[in-house]
Amino acid sequence: MADIVSMLEALNEQQREAVLENERPLLVLAGAGSGKTRVITTKIAYAVEKLGIPAYKILAVTFTNKAASEMKERVGVMLDGNSQVEDCTIRTFHSFGAWLLRRFGSEIGLASNFTIYDDDDSLSLLASCFPNYKKRELDPVMRKISYAKDRALRPSDNLSSLKVDGTFKRMYEAYEKKLRNIGNVDFADLIGRSIELLQEKPEVLDWVHRRFSMILVDEYQDSNAAQFNLLKLLAGQGCFICVVGDDDQSIYRFRGAEVQNILSFPELYAGTRIIKLEQNYRSTKHILDVANSVIQHNKGRHAKKLWTAKTKGSKPNLIYIQDEQDEALRVSNILLSDKKFNESAVLYRTNAQSVAFETVFKRLSIPYKVVGALQFYDREEVKDSLALLFLLTNEKDEVNFKRMINKPARGIGPGALDSILSFASQTDGSIFAMLRLAIAQNVLSAKAKSGASQFLRMFEHAQAMLGEGELVDCANFLIRESGLLDYYQEVDSQNSTGKVGNLEALVNALSSYDSSLEGLLLFLEQLSLDPTTLGREDPRDKEGVTLITMHNTKGLEFDRVFVAGLEEELFPGRANESDDDIEEERRIFYVAVTRARNELYLLCARARKIWGRTSFQHPSRFLDEVDSSLVNVQGIRPGSFDTSSYQGLSSLGEKRREHQQSSTSSWGSSGGSLIQKGFGSNAKTFAMKTVHSEGETGVLFPVGQRVYS
Ligand code: ATP
Ligand code: MG
């Protein structure tokens, strides 16, 4: 039985007030590390134990799956022995959407076996609607479509706020139509179609209202318009709603997040009680001082007091180093001096920065884990195998069919493919029915016919296996029978890569799921929702130093934090753009610094290799905003080197910006969180390149992270 009294006693007065307020809508607006998340977990325990609210009536929404599982764990500890814990719905917005649509999607014509397209699949789908365009041209269109969806704008809506023309509208419409015909959803649809469901089906809305009587939302400052609309629908009459957040930590504007959502909450919910938390329990005063001195340069913010009782500790260090190698070495030296690997994290602005650290850590035998860099799930061989599984679950899945029908080659060229797809209208979109017709009606060449027959037989057999034998056997069968295994064995032997090992890891991950269509769907859903995890493991649970982008550190904390690459055009990453952009970067700085409990290191290099060429760096403007009395400075600050007068640097500047764009768009692609799905092929290519160069030495762990020890 949980001890509610001691749980409440462990809180400060404001936190306790927040836990005890269960009538009026509640907004907890507070700075980093002030216990917002703790308030949510305690509220859940209090509601179940003290207020007698059944756990299944509670919905808690977090920002990442990792945060959700941590929250479940914490609530589990608090409610020790209470069997209801499992009934509590603790999910991200997207996984909540998936959950709702699996149950009720059929009400709006969505079959329960839908799968979730990632950005790559979505782009392929768009390309299949517009074959005359190059993917490069479609990439920005696809991003805009996602953006529109994040803003809760459908093709039929007034899209003028997106500053797009009629062509875009037409493309958005075509994409949407095709996606619906296939019967799958894209990532943003998990929210969008949930809204549609609740708006169009009053009985479902009613069910939801009866089901949930308490809704709690963490990291509310990063919710987007669509999520905001969904939340509005979810909270019915008499439902208690509490959101917590920090406007200074809003860092997903580029994904449509609207900090306005948190500031306008009291207007939407009349009678809202606002509670501010002012004590930070995470960081030392030295660290908070650095964070505050920078964030106070932002104009449009709510002034907040944040204090800490942790007045001891050492001053943060500002270290000037030569280049990225030097940066990694310096960090390594510190790590090796006390070997507190698990308690340390290196935070960077762009995924590409992990490479230098990985190389040096490997050489020095420092154990580490990369959270999110190149996702296991994004690897070609893994995507191929998954494509077969996706097709197995939804036989209308044209995107994955096209990916795999001739891979490895089985004599089906573009002409044969067109012939097969020409039966679409007679077959209601079923790929297998199209194949059967194409074979029966002799429209294929002998070679194509044999390839198509073999492909079809393979799926018929796999369908029979599914549900009968083990899921693992079914996956193994598809990987072998499709020729993928032989194909990647050959690739491995030629390039000394470890692709077959990855296929094996994929199958291993499947082994913990039920051997049924539902099990397979759950597995695919889990992967789509949190691509950094393969199956139920999470790279962040492994031993070693954490290498992670600043965006992914949301809500996390570490004893020691290194913030790497504090240089103009890297961080802030989009120099010379609007003040709003700079303010967002400043909030990212604030998030990064406030992850540290006791030790903070800020690193700034004089030069850095970008696309293989040396670029001379300027210290980040954020360093100028830190009062020099707040830090111990090591090394010499680079002088103001005038890059414009340096021969050849203007083109380098171009390169640098190119790099910036591709890698900044990949922030999203890294680790752990849902929002991270927003990246384009640009970013992906870039990430591929990065990892390819380490591919020879990297050992891939089953969970998609590389661990060297
Ligand atoms: P962020 O803004 O980074 O998400 P947060 O406001 O959600 O931070 P928490 O993660 O809930 O803050 O808390 C930060 C740390 O302080 C955690 O380690 C938490 O256990 C601890 N903490 C919170 N409240 C208290 C308290 N009253 N007494 C002791 N420790 C506390
Ligand atoms: Mg938190």
Residue with tokens 């908070």: 288
Mutate to test the pocket of ligand 1, among 221, 282, 288, 588 (most ligand atoms within 8 A of CB): 282
Cα(670) to centroid of ligand 2, in Å? 19
Q: pLDDT digits over 276-324, tens only?
A: 999 999 999 999 999 999 999 998 787 788 899 999 999 999 999 999 9
Can you give the pTM of this predicted structure? 0.80
How many Å apart are CA 326 and CA 317, to the nearest integer?
Answer: 16
Q: pLDDT digits over 123-157, tens only?
A: 989 999 998 998 889 999 999 999 999 999 999 99
| Nearest by Cα to 255 from 181, 337, 187 | 187
For 669: left if phi > 0, alpha if psi spans -120 to 50, otherwise beta; the answer is: alpha
- C-beta separation of 292 from 307 below 8 A: no
Judge whether residue 684 has pLDDT over 60. Answer: no
- Which atom of ligand 1 has the smallest separation from the CA of 595? 3
Return the DSSP state at 314: P
Give the pLDDT mean for 260-289.
94
Cα(37) to centroid of ligand 2, in Å? 4
657/92: higher pLDDT: 92
Give the pLDDT mean for 16-34.
97
Mutate to test the pocket of ligand 1, among 7, 11, 28, 37 (most ligand atoms within 8 A of CB): 37
Give the pLDDT mean for 568-579.
79
ipTM computed for the complex: 0.99
Return the DSSP state at 87: G
pLDDT of res. 355: 80
User: What residue spans of 215-369 are helical by DSSP H?
Assistant: 225-234, 260-263, 265-268, 285-295, 324-338, 354-363
Q: Which residues are catalytic?
A: 36-37, 218-219, 249, 595
| Nearest by Cα to 216 from 188, 177, 244 | 244
How many Å apart are CA 418 and CA 329, to the nearest integer?
Answer: 55
pLDDT of res. 576: 52
DSSP assignment of 427-444: HTT-HHHHHHHHHHTT-S
- C-beta separation of 175 from 126 below 8 A: yes
Q: What percent of the chain has pLDDT over 90?
A: 61
pLDDT of res. 532: 55
**Sign of the C-alpha dihedral, residues 62, 63, 65, 67?**
negative
| 157-158-163-168 Cα dihedral, nearest 10 degrees | 40
Cα(704) to centroid of ligand 1, in Å? 30
Contacts of 70 (CB under 8 A, 6+ apart): none
Residue nearest atom 18 in ligand 1 by C-alpha distance = 282
Judge whether residue 250 has pLDDT over 50. Answer: yes
Q: pLDDT digits over 439-457, tens only?
A: 999 999 999 999 999 999 9
- C-beta separation of 633 from 644 below 8 A: no
Judge whether residue 367 has pLDDT over 70. Answer: yes
679/180: higher pLDDT: 180
Give the pLDDT mean for 1-16.
88
| Nearest by Cα to 42 from 15, 65, 62 | 15
Cα(610) to centroid of ligand 1, in Å? 38
Residue nearest atom 14 in ligand 1 by C-alpha distance = 33
Judge whether residue 195 has pLDDT over 60. Answer: yes
CA-angle at 405, arms to 403 and 406, nearest 5° = 90
How many Å apart are CA 538 and CA 91, to the nearest integer?
Answer: 16
3-state SS string for 262-292:
HHCHHHHCCCCEEECCCEECCCCHHHHHHHH
63/407: higher pLDDT: 407
Judge whether residue 681 has pLDDT over 80. Answer: no
Q: pLDDT digits over 612-660, tens only?
A: 678 899 999 999 999 999 999 999 998 744 444 333 333 333 334 333 3
Q: Which residues line ligand 1 (CB under 6 A)?
A: 10-12, 15, 30, 32-38, 246, 249, 281-282, 555, 557
pLDDT of res. 697: 24
Residue nearest atom 27 in ligand 1 by C-alpha distance = 11
Phi, psi angle pair for 463, to nearest 5°: -60, -40
Judge whether residue 216 has pLDDT over 90. Answer: yes
| Nearest by Cα to 63 from 552, 527, 550, 546 | 552
Mutate to test the pocket of ligand 1, among 73, 281, 295, 557 (most ligand atoms within 8 A of CB): 281
Give the pLDDT mean for 683-702.
26
Return the DSSP state at 405: T
pLDDT of res. 373: 47
